[in-house]
Structure 1
């Protein structure tokens, strides 16, 4: 109750500006994917704050742009004094903060998690429209589509791939990474083995499936953790030795943005580099 009362007092002193009739001039982002869109589409000059995660190049595609604006940790106490005319948040994060901001009269736009490339393009368009930057949004989508269309043709018999993330998570069916893999000419084995977008695969399942390519979805400069243990398991070592493992930072396809094209290009290059006679882990290999 005291926290709410304090926020109300601050709110009265710094009421939110109204930008319904024009471009919002004080934008606050509470979501890493929103950080990228507002910084790319509106520019740092109109952004009052982004998440502190946006400054970390291991997980952010716009760390250079984020260095020019203040950051937040998703707290209402940080947002209210900024008197934003638009707050953009993720649909599944900072729920208490967004509820408080709405009660105080701030406009909050929530972004969902796209399940397809078309949904990603639509999200870029929706954010661009709200920012009053429709042309920039259309240009961004056009560039991504053009890059996807320019990918090298894939063979009729697509090589198989499995995405390996910390804690055994993978990219399953009904996800943007699943579609990016397909655009790159790869058959996502996890779409058959996993039950949802972000399912988990045991080491035994990966070894038994014997994918042609292992996509290691982790930042090479991330600090060591128990979650990464599977990524470095000896049973997967033959993929690296045989040139069948490709590192791909999660940031490249975690959000709607230009990096989706870069992810597809890297995967297409890795697929093309797989020599027909390259070493492949033997069937039934165990460690």
Structure 2
């Protein structure tokens, strides 16, 4: 049954693909019907492409709880990553992320659709390089240069706001996961003037950390990968642990919207600014014993 469905999907895709490929422009031409299959590539397409050239972005980018460009994304038809749906837009460029559904990407390539994949940058240098690469692909190099210039200017301005103290910070994600060295988050914390406690403890990339380690490591700031006032999460539940309560006023809690650093894009500068603001804000007394 599954094989028959797959063959039917492939057959339909081939029919539509024949129309797409017939309309695909010559190499080097500016794309005129861009379809993005990944929330992170959506954001770059929305920031850099000629609005008239965008055919579709993912439905995820239209949710302001998850995406930074939701208002702009809602101006375009949403896709759910289905091959027949995508090819119906007759794209001359399909942009995917390295974690986009592999079956969809493979099938698109199989029918000869013009697909370009983008990876996940691990530092700000990689973020800027990806912006330049995307802008060139979209035929908008000047827009890419302008966005990179804006990022550099904001980083230079924010660097002047860093105080002499370097508090120890720890990112806490659901299930007790944290982010260590060799990651974009580590650079974000450093740029905000913090010492990443997870990196100091030898954690690479993503790993779990015990609350006892939070206490023994003398963390000053606990960064929750969530939005203040958002729905309950395991990250919040873990803060009810008695050990956290005993840390008293020494431990400051900062809620950072995950949308700011879920994608390695320009919004990470907003994350840096929020962390600098949080470090400079007066402490709020903790409620309870």
Using a 3 Å threshold, how does the CA distance of structure 1 residues 102 and 229 change in structure 2: closer, same or farther? same
Q: CA deviation at 1:10?
A: 2.3
SS at match of 1:163: strand
* Pairs aligned (count): 279
Answering whether residue 268 of structure 2 is matched by residue 272 of structure 1, we say: no
Q: Which residue of 1 aligns with 2:3?
A: none
Partner of 1:4: 10
Maintained 8 Å contact 2:190/2:196: yes
1:110 aligns with 2:133: no
Among 178, 182, 201, which residue is 1:174 paired with?
Answer: 182
Residue equivalent to 1:211: 219
**Counterpart residue number, 2:92:** 85
User: Quick check: 192-201 or 61-70, which moved more?
Assistant: 192-201
Cα distance in 1 for residues equivalent to 2:214 and 2:64: 29
Could you tell me how far 1:43 is from its partner in structure 2?
Answer: 4.2
- 1:82-231 superposed matches below 5 A: 82-151=89-158, 152-193=160-201, 195-220=203-228, 222-226=230-234, 229-230=237-238
Q: Which runs of 5+ in 1 are unaligned?
A: 281-286
TM-score, scaled relative to structure 2 = 0.87
Q: Distance in 2 between matches of 1:12 and 1:105?
A: 9
SS where residue 170 of structure 1 aligns?
A: strand
Indicate the larger mover: 194-203 or 167-176.
Answer: 194-203
Counterparts of 1:271 and 1:83, CA distance in 2: 49
Q: Helix, strand or coil: the match of 1:69?
A: coil
User: Aligned Cα RMSD in Å?
Assistant: 2.5
Alignment TM-score, normalising by the size of structure 1: 0.87
Structure 2: tracts of 5 or more residues without a match: 1-6
Partner deviation per Cα, 1:118-174 (whole Å, 9 max, x = no partner):
011100110001001111111111111111111134344411100112222222211
Aligned equivalents of 1:87, 1:125: Cα separation in 2? 18
Q: Which runs of 4+ in 1 moved over 6 A?
A: 238-243
Separation in structure 2 between the aligned mates of residue 266 and residue 23 of structure 1, nearest angstrom: 37
